[in-house]
Each structure stands twice: as structure tokens, then as C-alpha cells.
Structure 1
Amino acid sequence: MRVRVHRKGEYIESVPMKGQLFSLITTGDGTEIIHHKLEDGVSSYLAPEEGWEALEYIYILSGQLIWKRPEGDVVLSPGDSVTAHMITEMAMFVAVGETEILYVVSRPYFHNYSGSIQKLFDLAVKIEEKDGYTSDHCNRIKKLATLVGERMGLSPYEIYVLNLAGFLHDVGKTQIPEHILNKPSKLTDEEFEQMKLHTVYGRRLLEETGMPDLKIVGEVVEQHHERYDGKGYPRGLQGNQISKLAAIITVVDSYDAMTVDRVYQKGRPQEEAMQEIERCSGTMYHPEIVRAFLSIAGETKL
């Protein structure tokens, strides 16, 4: 007989992520019990995956989770639970207030998922800091992209991919030489050609994880500098050839780049940035996405 005592606050391993904390409480015979703490507004997902046959169980300890369902939201409170087995559709949950849950899964999950994602998240934040942004840039892109995606009525799975792609959109810049990335003056034609490759490198990094969802995220990341008129990169896609998820990131990334103070550039006023985005609708940006973005910007402070 094996007995393991767990006292409050004692974990085998913890991995902090932006707005959440994964802590492995115990593991044995392939089953893991994970303590998951989420800040207000942070999303969590149960996602279908080919070959994944594990039983998954979520128990609400404190706070609330909103289960976002097409037929209407379901509010989960302390003591409520969710059981899932071989799910075929993405299930999306949003924390209301600081929320704590227990996640029990019958196959190893903690290191495979949280470890791979955390390494990529750390790379994304470091590269944005080197590129003259604050460390919160990735999270802002994720949040803005999610707002636009929800306004456009995207599915929970699309929102999930958009969350990851928004945070990781520039992770490929880790492969760009620092003298190019940090150059304060205009890049030469040769340097710009190297810089453009960060979209391709980002897709490769995500594909190399071997995780099916991150391969899909990689396709979005590769396209986030394509333009509606076909003058973007790396492949010169145009119109509806471009993933809508990538086109959303294009708009919100441009807005953030225009309005945020950087090491070598003062941010523009919000109204001026919105006017520029509207002016470039149909050339740089997808008109439908511009409309959704401007409607959100008109209702709330971004």
C-alpha cells in the first residue's frame, strides 16, 4: 500500500502562466490530480484530440466558472463538477473572480502540456521585451483578439486557438539575430527579408512540439503578417485565403503597436490609431474584422 499525504500549499511541481497557476498535487498509475488557479476572466478549455481517451474531471473549489455553450451559458459554483470522456467538441470555461479548481485526468498531462506551453510563453515574452514592448504585450494581443473573436461569433475552439496564437504570434523572432531585432533605425532590404522569416520560424517552433493544437496555432502565426490586398508576407495570400484568426491578430497587433509606448517610439492616441485602421480596411485589413474591432473600441476602453 502506498500512502501520500498532501498538505495545503504543498505540490510536486507548479508552473505559473499569465493569469493562472498549474500545480501538480499527486500522480500515480498514469492519473494526475492538478490544482488550477485562474484569475478573473481567464479562459480554460477541454479540447478534443485524436487518440486521447482519458477521463477528465473538473471540481470547482472556489469562485465560479462559466461554461460557454452554444445553447446558453452554464454557471458552475463551488461543489459543482464536470466529467468528460472522449469529447468531440471544444468546451470553453471562463473564470468569474479568482477561481480554483481540481482537475483530475487519467493520463499524464501536466508535463506534456504545461511544460511545452510555458517554454513557448517564456520565449514570447522575452522576445517582445527585446523588441521594445512591455512584457504585457503578448497578453494584450490575446485579450484584444479574443474580444474580436467573440464579437464575430467564433466557436469555442476557434477562440482557444486565437488565445494561443495571439500570445505566441511573434515567438519566431527568437530566431532573428538581435542586431536586426534591436536596430533603432530603418532595416536594410536584406535585414527586412530576414525579419519577415519570423512568421515561418514561429510556425516551425510550434509544429516541432508535436502537439496537434499547436500545429494549428502555427498556421495562424505564420499568416499574421499577410495583408487583405495580397501584399503581405510570407506567402502573399489575399482576401479569404487568409485565416480569419490570423487576420484578427493582424488588426489588434497593429493597434497595439500604434498605441503603446516603446523604447524608441511614443504611442499614438487611441482615436488616431482607430482612424488609421479604418483607413486601411480593404487593403491591409479584412473589412469584416475592422468593423468588429471598431464596434468594440467604440463601446469600451481598449
Structure 2
Amino acid sequence: MTITLLGSHDGVELIRHELKRYGLMGFYPSSVPNAFEGIIVLRGELQVTCARQSTVLSAGSAMSMSPVQEVVCVIAKENTDFLYVTSFSLYSWYKDWVERFHQMASDIAQKDGYTASHCERIRKYSVMIGCELGLSAYELISLSCGALFHDIGKVKIPDEILRKPGRLTPEEFDIMKMHTIYGRDLMNSPEHPFLHVGSTVAEQHHERYDGSGYPYGLKGDEIYLPAAIVAVVDSYDAMTSERPYQRPKSKREAIEEIQSLRGKLYDPRVVDAFLKVVDKF
């Protein structure tokens, strides 16, 4: 996401947003009394979700929110430019957090030996599945944030374990599994107030439908649905990526493996949605 302040006067700001396909942003109820917020689509197409109701806005369409009373999620269905109008000043703070988010995601991916695009791929693919499943606005924001930072806890794992080229010993794997707990705690910390929404995804993305996952051995509907989505996408991306300890599978091989584990390791609802959208990955 790229944001540009086009103009401001007496607290009113006009901010241009450029969102790539399946880029996402959220609106939360403002603490400013009688605040006005609105969006005008210049190019592309936006899905605007409030609760579980979605509206699609195309170029030339506009929507006003005065005030925002519940969580709203905006997703670019294709590369989209839009104007965001607000009656209170937030650009400087907003720009700082956008830049910090992207830098944190890049740092996490590189620590784990991935390219910087890994976390963004996980986020985008997860959002595609979330849209297919009709998640609520809050769930979509939780999914997007949690997917982007699902491995943030690995910053606390020693490099000699994290980047070990061979199989981990049982003791080393026990240490590795702690990244889910570390991730939850980091995202829930006061230092990262806008990551709280994704902390359950970081905590549960290695849980498995049959109860064989970690850290708690949750099964079935005990697993938070956004976390179950990231479980499938993260597995798919790992299967198709070049890693020191494995050759990448072809896209078809990875799809067939995910499909074979439907109802075993992976939530059937998520696998069915994955199969509907994976050709767009």
C-alpha cells in the first residue's frame, strides 16, 4: 500500500491510497466525536465489508461514513487507487505505521531465510480465501494482520535452529514450536497496539484439524478460522518454495497434497475455498 497526502486544512485531510490486488485496510470507530470519513474510488474496484455485509465500489463510486460505528474492511479486488477523506488529522501517524508494518514483515521473512515477499504472499493468498468464505470485516482484518505477521515469534528463535539445513532434533523442535507463543505475546504487547487483532492467528497457525498440531493440540472448530486459513496457505507456500532441506513441489503436486489432507490436517471449509481460488495465486 502506498499513501500520499494530497492536501489538508483545519484538520481535514485528503489522502490518496494505491492498493495492489488484495491489499487491505481497516477502519475502526473513531474516538473523535462526529468524525467524518469517506472514500472515492479513482481506479479499480474495492470490496467494502461492514460486519458480514459487503458492497463493491468501482471507479467513480463513493461511500461516506459519518461516523464509523463498527469495524469496516476495505479490500482491493484489483489494483486500485482511491481517495480517503477524513475530518481529523491522522496522516503522519498513519504513514509511520504503514512503513513500520512493511519493514517488520520484511525483517521477519529474511530472518527465516525467505525472500521479503513471503509474508506478503501468505497475507494475500489468505485474504483471497477469506473473501471466498465470506468472513466478517473484523475477521478479514484479523486474518490479514495475522497472516502478515504469522511468524513474528521467530525473531526469538536462535538462528542455529531457525536456519539449520537438516532435520531438527526433538529438543530443537520444541524450541521452534515456541515461536507461536512468542508471536502471540509480541503481537499483544503494548508496543504493537495495532497488531493485537492478529495475535490469535500467530498463536494458532500450526494447529491442525485432527488435533495433531501445536501449541495446544486444538482440533476442528476449536481452531480460529483465520488461523486455519493461514495453516493451509503457509503449508502450500512452504511446499512450493525452495528451502535448504527440500526441493519445491510443483503447484499441482502441492494442490493435490493439500486436497488429500482435507479433513485431516486442514479444515474442509478452508480447503474447498482454497481449491476455488488457488488458480489465481
**Could you say which TM-score interval applies, normalised by the shorter chain?**
0.7 to 0.9
What residue number does 2:59 align with?
77
Identical pairs, percent: 39
Structure 1 residue 144: Cα displacement:
1.4
Structure 1 residue 68: Cα displacement:
3.5
What residue number does 1:16 align with?
none
Deviations 1:115-164 (A, max 9, x none): 34532432222222232322211121112112211221212332222122
- Give me the whole-angstrom Cα distance separating, in 2, the residues matched to 1:72 and 1:223: 27
Q: Which amino acid aligns with 1:247?
A: A
Q: Which amino acid aligns with 2:189?
A: E
Contact 2:5 2:16 survives alignment (8 Å): yes
Q: Does 1:268 align with 2:257?
A: no
1:182-261 equivalent positions in 2, closer than 5 A: 182-209=163-190, 214-261=195-242
* Match for residue 273 of structure 2 among 292, 295, 298: 292
* Match for residue 69 of structure 2 among 81, 84, 88: 88
What residue number does 2:143 align with?
162
Compared CA separation, residues 114 and 218, structure 1 to 2 (3 A): farther
Deviations 1:265-284 (A, max 9, x none): 32101222122222322332
Structure 1 residue 27: Cα displacement:
5.8
Compared CA separation, residues 194 and 257, structure 1 to 2 (3 A): same
Q: Does 1:21 align with 2:2?
A: yes
What residue number does 2:27 align with?
46
Contact 2:156 2:179 survives alignment (8 Å): yes
Deviations 1:18-48 (A, max 9, x none): xx21234566765544332223443333333
Moved segments of 4+, more than 6 Å: none
Q: Which amino acid aligns with 1:66?
A: L
Compared CA separation, residues 124 and 190, structure 1 to 2 (3 A): farther
SS of alignment partner, residue 195 of structure 2: helix
Structure 1 residue 258: Cα displacement:
0.3
Structure 1 residue 203: Cα displacement:
1.6
Contact 1:66 1:96 survives alignment (8 Å): yes
Contact 1:173 1:198 survives alignment (8 Å): yes
Contact 2:27 2:72 survives alignment (8 Å): yes
TM score, norm. by length of structure 2: 0.84
Compared CA separation, residues 205 and 119, structure 1 to 2 (3 A): farther
Give unpaired runs (5+ residues) of structure 1.
1-19
Structure 1 residue 209: Cα displacement:
4.5
Contact 1:133 1:263 survives alignment (8 Å): no
What residue number does 2:85 align with?
104
Structure 1 residue 99: Cα displacement:
3.8
Contact 2:47 2:77 survives alignment (8 Å): no
- Give me the whole-angstrom Cα distance separating, in 2, the residues matched to 1:171 and 1:117: 17
Alpha-carbon RMSD: 2.8
Q: How many residues align?
A: 278
1:129-168 equivalent positions in 2, closer than 5 A: 129-168=110-149
Contact 1:197 1:234 survives alignment (8 Å): yes
Deviations 1:65-98 (A, max 9, x none): 43445666443434x5432223233334344665
